[in-house]
Amino acid sequence: MRIANWSLWLSVGATLVACSKGGNGDGPDGGSASSAAGGKTDAGTATKPDAGHPTSSSSGSTTTATAASVVTMRNIGRNGGTLEFTVTGSDPSGQTTEAQVQLLDASGTPVIAFDTNWDGMPDSASKLLHFDASTLGEKTFTQTITLPGLYALAPTIASATVALSNEGGQLGPTLTADLTSQGVDALNAKCDPNEVTDRCAAGMSCQSGSSGSSSSSKSSSASSASKAAPTCHASVAPSLTQVAYYGGANPAQLFSGSDPDEDLADITISFLDATGKSLLVDLGDGNPVAQALLDAHGSATGTSFVFASYPATNFTALVPRISAIATDSLGNSGAPVTASLAAQPTHSNGGTCDPYGIIGCVAGSVCSPGLPSAMNTCGTVASLQVAKCSAAAATATTGKLAAWGVAGGVSLWDPPIGCAIATEVGRPESLVTLKLTQPVNQLTLSTAVPETDFDTILYVLPACASSTAQALGCNDDTQGYSSTVTLTNVAAGTYTIVVDSATLQGGHFGLTIATQ
């Protein structure tokens, strides 16, 4: 039976993926995005722009102070569904951080693909987008804007107009970029392992080494060159390298492995007794089964993956062992890997861990920074909170955009009780610091700006309060999935603004601040 949710015995939880391509990230619209700027793009960071933010979506107000000289647009990635812009520009003031992009189809008609009112539905063909890395301080630059999944959702995109925006909100001259389509390679053809200029057809992988098709008539030097060049290899089954099955108060099933074709589809779990014999288990529908099929489509965006599911405690009481098999989109299955129910191995503070929970931390500690690409170690929540507050960027108090950043990694704070859905805890967040030099009658903070591409929960803490019970205000979903907090009679001092996520993935955000 295929399982989307095991209502009684097993509740499928978050899918965690390794080896994903960086960029602006998928928003709830599948493509609208923005990037952290100012030199840090790690999850959980925020950045303060010097001042200003464009408010116009047209190019009626132009200036030659910030101008793009070259713009290219292409679809990239394993399935060609990601849209990437490369922009070369100049700005004598060094204050350009974003570009106004409008998407068009082959007839020049705008393509509605961006969600600009934060309701999860595309509503606009235009959007202000931050670059993947900061260009602040650079008078000339070449930078990318990556929009994962956008082209897959809007395959009629054929061209785009792009205009750079300076710190005053003025748009430079508009350039038009036609889509450069990613090529699709056949078996044995040379390929781009980065999946930018081309990709192998579905079910194949781009690898270095001989594909087995070299002719005996080729010279040895030509044969060596052929072996060295990446080519499209025939389909291979995904393989599991580790299966972990943990009990206790928070049971988990974790599956890590490799998938050269990047088309992982399912993980089949068989229920076994202590001797390895098959078990029949009622998953809640009155029909005992010996196995279940976990839908893993789209869970791996690279050649390695980690998939997680979370069984209920009564399931672990019934099933002492499991066996797992990974299957790809073509039906190729790897070898089974078994695991017995065990306690999760944990390390003390300073010890290594992983964000998936294959190796955890002792009680009272968490795995930080909680990012697959980083070196993760165990640390106490209190010490990590202090460190994160100290590293938080200060917001601007002038201009329309006070800060932007990325919410990701380990969760150190949770929304105050009653502000958000009770289950929306343990989600990634980002911090920014607000310093008021004098009291204000009214302080309004909002994530309702184009930079925000995920469901935010916004709250304000005095100084670096460790408990969100001390929050001065909190809001979830004022307009769509954006958040706005308004405080009155706010004293001078230092405040920590937490941009929390209502989703497991987090995302990119912008923050505005207004005082009266």
- 337-386 pLDDT tens trace: 999 999 999 999 999 999 989 999 999 899 999 998 899 999 999 999 99
Does the structure show a pLDDT above 90 at 223?
Answer: no
pLDDT of residue 328: 94
SS3 of residue 396 by DSSP: coil
Whether 382 is in a domain gets the answer yes
pLDDT above 80 (res 500): yes
Is the model more confident about 44 or about 141? 141
In a domain, 356, yes or no: yes
The answer, yes or no, to whether residue 301 has pLDDT greater than 50, is yes
- 326 and 437 in a single domain? The answer is no
d(Cα 475, Cα 486) in Å, to the nearest integer?
Answer: 9
29 domain residue, yes or no: no
Over residues 438-458, mean pLDDT: 93
Task: Determine the average pLDDT of the residues in 93-117.
Answer: 93
Whether residues 276 and 371 fall in one domain: no
> Are residues 504 and 426 part of one domain?
yes
Backbone angles phi, psi at 420, to 5 degrees: -135, 175
383 in the same domain as 364 = yes
Which of 72-76, 90-94, 179-183, 368-372 comes out lowest in average pLDDT?
90-94
18-22, 40-44, 69-73, 371-375 — most confident range: 69-73
On whether both 427 and 473 belong to a single domain, the answer is: yes
Q: Hey, is 468 helix, strand or coil?
A: helix
Task: For 12-63, give the DSSP string.
Answer: ------SSPPPSS---TTSS------SS--STT-EE--SS-----SSSSSB-
With a cut of 80, say whether residue 390 has pLDDT above it: yes
What is the DSSP secondary structure assignment for residue 149, as one 8-state letter?
T
Q: What is the mean pLDDT of residues 297-308?
A: 83
- Would you say residue 255 lies in a domain? yes
Instruction: Name residue, tokens 């192998």.
Output: 200
Task: Give pLDDT, residue 501.
Answer: 96
In the structure, what pLDDT confidence band is assigned to residue 391 with cuts at 50, 70 and 90?
Answer: very high
User: Which residue, 284, 309, 342, sits at the end of a domain?
Assistant: 342
Task: Please give the full DSSP string across 303-326, using - where no structure is assigned.
Answer: SEEEEEEEE-HHHHHH-SEEEEEE
Report the mean per-residue pLDDT for the chain. Answer: 84
Amino acid at 381: V
Q: Say yes or no to pLDDT of 217 above 90.
A: no
- Do 56 and 172 lie in a common domain? yes
| 54 and 165 co-located in one domain | yes
Mark whether 328 and 358 lie in a shared domain. no
Please tell me which residue, 498 or 97, carries the higher pLDDT value.
498
In the chain, the number of structural domains is: 5
Where does a domain end: 342, 375, 409? 342
Q: Is the pLDDT of residue 258 over 70?
A: yes
Residue 394, burial from CB neighbour count under 10 angstroms (0-12, 13-18, 19+): middle
**Are 280 and 333 members of one domain?**
yes
What spatial distance separates the first Cα and last Cα of the chain, rounded to whole Å? 59
Tokens of 37: 């700027």
Residue 28: inside a domain, yes or no? no
Q: What is the pLDDT of residue 302?
A: 80
- pLDDT tens per residue across span 114-162: 998 888 899 999 998 988 888 888 999 999 999 999 999 999 999 999 9
> In the listed set 180, 198, 220, which residue is the last one of a domain according to the structure?
180
Write down the residue that tokens 């190796």 correspond to: 359
Instruction: Give the separation between CA 456 and CA 466, rounded to whole angstroms.
Output: 20
Mean pLDDT of 406-434: 94
Q: Which of 25, 26, 50 is nearest to 36 (CA)?
A: 25
Residue 399 confidence (pLDDT): 61
Answer whether residue 3 shows pLDDT above 70.
Answer: no
pLDDT at 24 over 50: no
Say whether both 252 and 209 belong to one domain.
no
- Pairing, β 429-436 against β 493-501: antiparallel
Domain CATH for 87: 2.60.40.10
**Is 36 within a domain?**
no
Q: What percent of the chain has pLDDT over 90?
A: 66
Alpha-carbon distance of 365 to 360, in angstroms, equals 9
- Any idea which residue has 């009684």 for tokens? 8
- What is the Cα–Cα distance from 307 to 296, expressed in whole angstroms? 8
Reported as a single tens digit per residue, the pLDDT across 449-479 is: 888 889 999 999 999 999 999 999 999 998 8
Region 293-301 average pLDDT: 82
* Residue 41 belongs to a domain: no
| Rounded-to-integer distance, Cα 306 and Cα 483, Å | 32
User: What's the predicted TM-score (pTM) here?
Assistant: 0.78
Q: What is the pLDDT of residue 48?
A: 59
Q: Let me know whether 443 and 400 are in one domain.
A: yes
CATH number of domain containing 300: 2.60.40
Contact 392/463 with Cβ under 8 angstroms?
no
Residue 382: the pLDDT is 95
Q: What local confidence, expressed as pLDDT, does residue 259 receive?
A: 94
Parent domain of 198: 188-233
Name the nearest CA neighbour of 303 among 266, 328, 338, 335: 328
Separation CA 413–CA 391 (nearest Å): 16
Q: What is the pLDDT of residue 381?
A: 95
Mean pLDDT of 260-269: 94
Lowest mean pLDDT segment, chosen from 17-31, 81-95, 287-301: 17-31
What is the percent of the chain with per-residue pLDDT over 70, rounded to a whole number? Answer: 83
CATH number of the domain at 440, please. 2.60.120.380
Q: pLDDT grade, residue 41 (50/70/90)?
A: very low
Residues 154 and 275 in one domain: no
| Long-range pairs for 470-476: beta carbons < 8 A, 24 or more residues apart | 471/416, 471/419, 474/415, 474/416, 474/419, 474/420, 475/419, 476/415, 476/419, 476/420, 476/421, 476/424, 476/502
Query: What number of residues does the chain have?
Result: 516
The pLDDT of residue 479 is 86
**Does some domain include residue 450?**
yes
